[in-house]
A and B are shown apart, each in its own frame.
Chain A
């Protein structure tokens, strides 16, 4: 979706410290050039295919469809990307742009760790130095991802300020960029931040919806009736929705994280139910969860990737104009949706994506049998093994962990590798 000078309605823009002005302009121009350069686009599609395995399938779910007895349910399988999430689409695009700009290092923030891993993978492949900022609390929740980032050669910096989650990681990445902008690119993981990041990330993610357009026509002769995506920062939702923006008969539903409840601090609902307020922070204007005095607030979700205080200005604008309908799913519903997909279809969804499932499953029984819905399965759930085991109260898991720890060599020879 093209912005008006970086703005989508009242949201977006570029509100950054003066020190970053030149670098922001450089990215703006490099992206404008690149997206109109057939050679760049050809390389992008080649890397998407050869490195990430695109196109990802559109999978019909016969058992779920029968279970709910309503709409025909399809999943867009972004979980089958290399790295196991849609994040790969964006990092390949920005990675190629970094090479084009001649920079040597990338900085990224990460919440769940999916974007961190995706960035570390691309950095390794493209020969770039890589520093990942991650909230200390998120590192605790998603250590296996941190482990892989380090194995891939990235430096992972725990962020211990504030609530120690994605928002703080984003602040710290911006601070790094303020001093390193001449040789480093800030490889933002979602369609947030100063212009042109929202537009650029949405552009790279739109491959998701572009493929669904072709696949839906090929598989059932028409576009889907409804699309569902979870909304954290908003990149997988932008990716699925934007290519359908002009198709008035295609309804779009964004699902936010309802967390444990609707009290401030217990959820990450920025758009539905007027819980967020307009604000300008972290480089852009959008709906933020904040108090009366304009201080950004803590958020919660069982899915670290949705635990964010702001939201894409593109999604905020489309929600405000009514083009996208926003709803939310609570932590408990999310675990139930995750479990149902496992049992019925043999697919392990990420907890982030399970929000989209939960939102769709609520509607599916009430939709006509002739209607078709596409849910963006933005990531796979292997990374969530510890959290899901805890949520379903698996009895054997603690014993497994105890046994594992009992045999874990405490003094290792390769300490430095993990330092």
Chain B
């Protein structure tokens, strides 16, 4: 899957989870950029991303992930 495709699908997940069709995520997007993205919503977001791509984040990855770009890197490394 190309990085563009990953971002396209990530966008859909973000829009579903935050019920906001305006959202467009980029490499640099962080929780500060999306109003409802707090630590509790983060849990739900990760679960939805895992489901979308059929993969699991491990604890180390969750703890160190800093922005959507890193999230995409992990996804690509796991699904090849």
Query: Do A and B belong to a common assembly?
Result: no
